Amino acid sequence: MLEAELVVGGLTPFTTIDFPGHLAAVVFCQGCPWRCGYCHNPHLHPPTGAERSWHDVRGWLESRRGLLDGVVFSGGEPLLQRGLIRALAEVRAMGFATGLHTAGIYPEGLARVLPLLDWVGLDIKGPFEDYARITGGGRGEDAECSLILLLAAGTPHELRCTVDPELLDADAMVRMAVQLRGHRVSRLVLQPRRRDGREQALPAALFAAAKKILPDVMVRRA
């Protein structure tokens, strides 16, 4: 866990796609212990190096009241930071809806912040037994525990999987979809990986493998 004030690695002042149904700002949180090969934000991996202070971001958000209706915390892995819970409470007190992007790395942290969240985007990296390979050492047990907590809380959410065909083949896709179905999940968003800023094609066989198991699979392009 990091220091008490949120360490902010970047800010997107306006988005219509990162927090469904909301005109939102994205606060990127510094730090992630995992090393997914397709990570879009490797500059956020070191746990230190704030681009701007939470104090400044909070002041800027005050000026956005009435213009935005949501704030989504992304990363990096926001749950790495002890300051997240206070930041969420402050954002809610300002009248914004709150969202979180997480890879489910810290189930205990997720349990603490769920009462402060209006929506969660949970990344599913693959079948849980493959997490160490896909994430560079991450624990699938933690991610599965986070999924269970999220589903039990009933918080609106989206499960999404970045598809890198070098890391996820049809067999892995089927194993993942079967595990999700076992948790009564029906909807999964597949996101093609990006390389050198360009979206890679998502093989039709991988889409078909997921669709065979889960009734509601869609592909989201950036």
What is the nearest approach in angstroms of ligand SF4 to the Cβ of residue 7? Answer: 14
Q: Which of 3, 14, 35, 56 binds ligand SF4 (CB under 6 A)?
A: 35
177 to 216, contacts with ligand SF4 by CB under 6 A?
Answer: none
Q: Which of 9, 70, 76, 99 binds ligand SF4 (CB under 6 A)?
A: 76
**70-78, 89-97, 147-155, 195-203 -> range binding ligand SF4 (CB under 6 A):** 70-78
Q: Which of 19, 34, 54, 106 binds ligand SF4 (CB under 6 A)?
A: 34
| Cβ closest to ligand SF4, residue 74 vs residue 213 | 74
Could you say whether residue 77 binds ligand SF4 (CB under 6 A)?
A: yes
| Cβ closest to ligand SF4, residue 43 vs residue 211 | 43
As a whole number of angstroms, the distance between CA 133 and CA 130 comes to: 6
Bridge partners (DSSP) of residue 70 are 24, 97
90 to 119, contacts with ligand SF4 by CB under 6 A?
Answer: 103
**18-26, 69-77, 152-160, 201-209 -> range binding ligand SF4 (CB under 6 A):** 69-77
Could you say whether residue 65 binds ligand SF4 (CB under 6 A)?
A: no
Which residues in this chain contact ligand SF4 in the complex, by CB under 6 A? 32, 34-36, 39, 41, 75-77, 103, 135
